Chains A and B, each alone.
Chain A
Amino acid sequence: MKVFALLTVIITGVMLVYGAEDFPKWGDPNQPGSVHVAPRYTQGTYIEAGTPNIVTSVVADYRGYDTMGETTVIFTAGMACILMLRKKKRGEGESNV
């Protein structure tokens, strides 16, 4: 098992290092990730979304739907715990979450 795990990890690592070869340098201001979609958020945040905090405007507005999904994830996790761990009520006792 240990050998298998090590092998998997090494293969994955080699693959990731191989992929990193074509990555832009760290902190490169003109990397493709920063010039395609993101500038609109920076420039439009106050005009379009009404807040100077860009992350806020993206979280709550541009990609607000993702955030709703995110809260649903939390809800799901909560319900999951209730589903899994809630015991039958013992007499008057509180439910044991």
Chain B
Amino acid sequence: MTYEHFAVLIVIVPLMSAFAVALLGWFKRWACYPLTLAALFVSFICSLGILNTVISKGTIHYHFGGWEPPWGIEYVVDYLNGFMLVMLSFIALVVAIYSKRSIEQEIPEKIVPYYSIFLLLVAGLIGITVTGDLFNVFVFLEIASLAAYALIAVGEDGAPMAAFNYVIMGTVGACFYYLGIGYVYIVTGSLNMADLSQLLPNLYHNKAVLVGFALFTVGIAVKMGLFPLHVWLPDSYTYAPSVTSAVIAPMFTKVMAYLMVRIFFTLFKPYFSIDLIPITQILTWVAAGGIIAGSILAIAQTDLKRMLAYSSIANIGYIVLGIGLANRMGLTGSLLHILNHAFMKGTLFLVAGGIMYKMGMRDITQFRGLHKKMPFTMGTFTIAALSMIGIPPTGGFFSKFYLVLGAIDARQWAFIVVLLISSLLNAVYFFRIIENAYLEPPVTAYATDGGTHEEIKRDELPLSMLIPTLILAAGVVLLGIFNERIIAFIIRFAVPASF
């Protein structure tokens, strides 16, 4: 059965290419970039194959070494991680295409190890997503985390400190997570998710399981930067190289959100996470706080990337809010928002990187006249920003719509207010930029007699950077227009049936 091997290849190809890049790059530096692209492209094809197989033949199970679970390690791909895989590998591919010029400018002497680690990061994230074994998640989580620490640390001046804080927080998160595994293991004796979901219901009142669940939740919350455990996130996103921000922001937190869904609703039965302990309720309130706090903090920033980072915190709030609402509409909105937000944030960070590349700055107050200089870049920025605000027909609107529906279904009026207010706050901080970018530079005032403006020459990004940005922006719109198709064919089945 060849189709099953896609599930493995999607991880192994980037992983092996990471070794190959490191080796080959030693002799031929130019080879890194095409090799990376090729690996990610194969990965992307595999993800499509996987999703296709999942849709046509159902869940894929792959047993490593032929050892049947729970003794061996198993890869399980169903609708939930099937669509995550496509998203991850696609964004990784697009960002990789973009990366060439930006990296050559920002860290020219480190291209070889950069690409190698880039691939390891992608492999790690994909590995977390495909696996059906709790401990295997931890291993790949560490691969991804170490890669992320390094990718952040090579950024500009504040980066090493940001990376160090990230290491400390990230390690706490990861350790809590594998301590959680220990707590679950000690009372069940298994590490396989499917096996555990069978074993755990008898132990739902066991204190070890309760604490284990709490440890999972806190650990993942730290890793995904959920408010108020987000302290590592803004600095890391701000000081990291542009490409790093553009790959970590849309992917890492989303994978953690996926893991949260997986643990809440697959490893544990929804009835445990929702009814037995009030964890989902607590999470919704925490998330609501994160949405408001993130949005307000974003307004206070003048650094584009830092603003985007705070906006990420707010958006993680959306995703967790949807998970916490724990009904069909809410979770649909949440999963859709994972997808949409990955595209929007990807676009925004690519644009931020593009501005950085061309102008060498990202201070919002200096953006005047950018639309003339880089019309396409600012056009894509506008599209993504509108999506963040939630203007139809972009994707962001629909995920918000489902989240609102979910809040209505849960009869949680406070959250509806939070969602609506936050989209206004989003409007405040994004329109501030759009306004700046579309206005003329302040030096030449407007005059009724047709005062002449200083001519700003068009100076667009090189195509290798522009096209990926455009692709992601187009994705933002397409995801919005075809959201019903995505829900009807994929997300509908990814939501637990008991909802």
Contacts and interface: CB of A to CB of B under 8 A. Distances in A.
Given A19-B210, A83-B113, A73 B135 contact: no
B114 interface: yes
B45 interface: no
A79 interface: yes
Interface in A11-37: 15-16, 18-24, 31-37
B266 to A, nearest CB: 19
A80 B186 contact: no
Interface in A24-78: 24, 31-38, 40-41, 61-66, 69-70, 72-73, 75-77
Chain B, interface size category, equals 35 or more
B66 to A, nearest CB: 10
Contacts of A64: 64-65
A44 to B, nearest CB: 8
B183 A19 contact: yes
B149 interface: yes
B454 interface: no
Contacts of B212: 19
Interface string B140-170: 1011001101110110000010000000000
A21 B183 CA distance: 11
Contact of B154 (A33, A65, A84): A84
B211 A84 contact: no
Interface residues of A, number: 40
A82 interface: yes
B116 interface: yes
B143 A33 contact: no
Interface of B is mostly: helix
A88 interface: yes
Nearest to B210: A19
A43 B72 CA distance: 15
A86 B116 CA distance: 14
B113 A37 contact: no
Nearest to A88: B109
B113 A79 contact: yes
Contacts of A24: 186-187
A37 B191 contact: yes
B127 A21 contact: no
A21 B211 CA distance: 11
B183 A82 contact: no
A40 B69 CA distance: 12
Given A19-B211, A22-B206, A61-B65, A73 B116 contact: no
Interface in B99-148: 109-110, 113-114, 116-117, 120, 123-124, 127, 135-136, 139-140, 142-143, 146-147
A86 B113 contact: yes
Nearest to B213: A19
B259 interface: no
A40 B123 CA distance: 31
A77 B143 CA distance: 8
Contact of A65 (B65, B123, B151, B160): B65
Contacts of B136: 65-66, 69
Interface in B412-437: none
Contact of A20 (B15, B149, B185, B208): B208
Contacts of B475: none
Interface string B369-411: 0000000000000000000000000000000000000000000
A33 B18 CA distance: 36
Nearest to B121: A76
B113 A33 contact: no
Contact of B70 (A31, A34, A37): A37
Contact of A83 (B65, B72, B114, B124): B114
A32 B110 contact: no
B65 A33 contact: no
Contacts of A84: 150, 153-154, 160
Contacts of A70: 139
B220 interface: no
A32 B188 CA distance: 5
Interface string B57-73: 00000001101001111
Query: Nearest 3 A-B pairs (CB), nearest first?
Result: A19-B211, A36-B189, A80-B150
7 contacts: A16-B211, A19-B207, A19-B208, A22-B207, A63-B135, A79-B120, A81-B150
Given A18-B211, A66-B73, A83-B153, 17 more contacts: A19-B207, A19-B212, A23-B208, A33-B185, A33-B188, A35-B189, A36-B188, A37-B190, A62-B72, A63-B72, A65-B64, A65-B73, A69-B136, A72-B15, A73-B139, A76-B143, A79-B116
